[in-house]
Amino acid sequence: MSTIAPDPIEFAAACAADGEMRLAVRYWTGGLRLGIGEAWTGFTVADGEITAGVPAEGDGVIAITGPAELWAPLMEPVPPRYAQISVLLALGDMGLQRGQTDPLLLWQYLPAVERASELLRAPGGDRPTKVDESGPLPRHDSPVGRYIHLEIDGVDHRIYYEEAGSGIPLLCQHTAGANSLQYRHLFEAAEITDRFRLIAYDLPYHGKSVPPVQPRWWEQEYELRGEFLRQVPLALAQALGLHQPVFMGCSVGGLLALELALRHPGEFRAVIALEGTLHIGGNREDFFGFWHPQVSNHSKARMMEGLCSPTSPEPYVKEVSQVYSAGWPPAFSGDLFYYMEDYDIRDRAGEIDTSATAVHIMNGAYDYTGTVEAGREAHLAIAGSTHTEMADVGHFPMQENPEAFLRYLLPILDQIEALEN
């Protein structure tokens, strides 16, 4: 098995020729040292210039080791579930060689490590590298955006939302640290907008929902709490005069969907929990690089690509990353407070009344946070709910592979529409 390691000279040449890698290693002096079983590969880098040669341990060197059987799935043309370098590092299956690697250095050059793991793959993967969004120019997309002022906890929040379509109102919330742009593909799906009034909004402090002007928010650490978060879709639905809308959220929004069904039965005719679970947990300190003055937004954004399916179209996966890179730096870290610490309905999930609010849980197979298994556990705990495993998507189904997502979503919307009749 140790022979699976690529020749170091050939690997360094492939990395040096790769445009994404050249950007990822800028200003780096040191190198990457990969122990694949008993063999070694990698490259040396000096002030952002890659040259051949597996570096010795030392300052500026990221050294990652693991048995060949752990590396092998990462190197398949289409890696299986959870065969991502970030997952194996997080689980402790891959070792940072004898503690020689500075954790801060790993965060700073995580994009290079992630790209290196992709360049290890054998040829033959079926990820589309192009998508077609052609049409007459100039042209407008479907959604129209506006700002609305809502009072939340006594503060005037200026919330951005955009909408298209007519029919049953469908409120959409984005993932942690992102914004409503994630739903742009759904706005162009006539199968949805012919029947549903699609409304996607930016949470306060996200996207175009700039912070309020009254509190001195810049002096406080941002932490998203459920008691605040739940008020946003409720206040927006009331202000827009929506009668029993549908709520669909992903990640943080997916957890919120289940909390709305639990704590506000009947306010929404149905909730769709994308990547929904009963509890996430974990230690936020493990993600210190998400808001560290010596780590760029690029690192956390690039990490999100590992949450996508290896078969999702490359331009859309990169779009996921761009949205995260453009976000206010503390937003993602602060949203994780709700995601990992504040949210936990394990003891109360059985109280959810699906006759008052229908519950639909959908999980992408390549999501290693809101896993299919955790979604199925939530489904079993909530009587009358449905569960859908999305086999060919990850954590961002509506953005990373909208065509595949529609195949899973439309039957759910059909069920919701049937409730209306």
CATH number, domain of 274, equals: 3.40.50.1820
Structural domain contains residue 132: no
The predicted structure's pLDDT at residue 316: 98
Q: What CATH number corresponds to the domain at position 58?
A: 3.30.1050.10
Burial class (CB in 10 A: 0-12, 13-18, 19+), 336: buried
Q: Given a cut of 60, is residue 41 above it in pLDDT?
A: yes
Which among 102, 119, 136 is the end of a domain? 119
Same domain, 61 and 168: no
Same domain, 107 and 185: no
pLDDT confidence of 99, banded at 50, 70, 90?
A: low
Instruction: Give the integer Cα–Cα distance in Å for 82 and 94.
Output: 13
Same domain, 99 and 192: no
Domains: count for the chain: 2
The predicted structure's pLDDT at residue 98: 46
| Spatial contact of 183 and 398, defined as CB atoms under 8 Å apart | yes
Structural domain contains residue 191: yes
Same domain, 176 and 267: yes
Structural domain contains residue 136: no
Same domain, 182 and 107: no
The predicted structure's pLDDT at residue 87: 83
The predicted structure's pLDDT at residue 96: 59
pTM for this predicted structure: 0.95
pLDDT confidence of 279, banded at 50, 70, 90?
A: very high
Same domain, 92 and 168: no
Same domain, 272 and 208: yes
| Pick from 72-86, 227-241, 381-395: least confident | 72-86
Structural domain contains residue 134: no
Tens digits of per-residue pLDDT, 136-189?
999 999 999 999 999 999 999 999 999 999 999 999 999 999 999 999 999 999
Question: Which residues partner with 363 through β-bridges?
Answer: 389
Structural domain contains residue 137: no
Q: Given a cut of 90, is residue 125 above it in pLDDT?
A: no
> What mean pLDDT comes out for the span 41-69?
95
> What mean pLDDT comes out for the span 128-141?
94
Which among 104, 119, 134 is the end of a domain? 119
Domain carrying residue 81: 2-119
Structural domain contains residue 346: yes
Same domain, 239 and 104: no
Structural domain contains residue 258: yes
Structural domain contains residue 103: yes
Same domain, 258 and 159: yes
The predicted structure's pLDDT at residue 84: 87
> What mean pLDDT comes out for the span 119-129?
87
Q: Given a cut of 50, is residue 1 above it in pLDDT?
A: no
The predicted structure's pLDDT at residue 302: 95
Same domain, 90 and 186: no
Same domain, 104 and 171: no
Which among 58, 86, 119 is the end of a domain? 119
Same domain, 178 and 110: no
The predicted structure's pLDDT at residue 421: 53
Q: Given a cut of 70, is residue 97 above it in pLDDT?
A: no
Chain mean pLDDT for the chain: 94
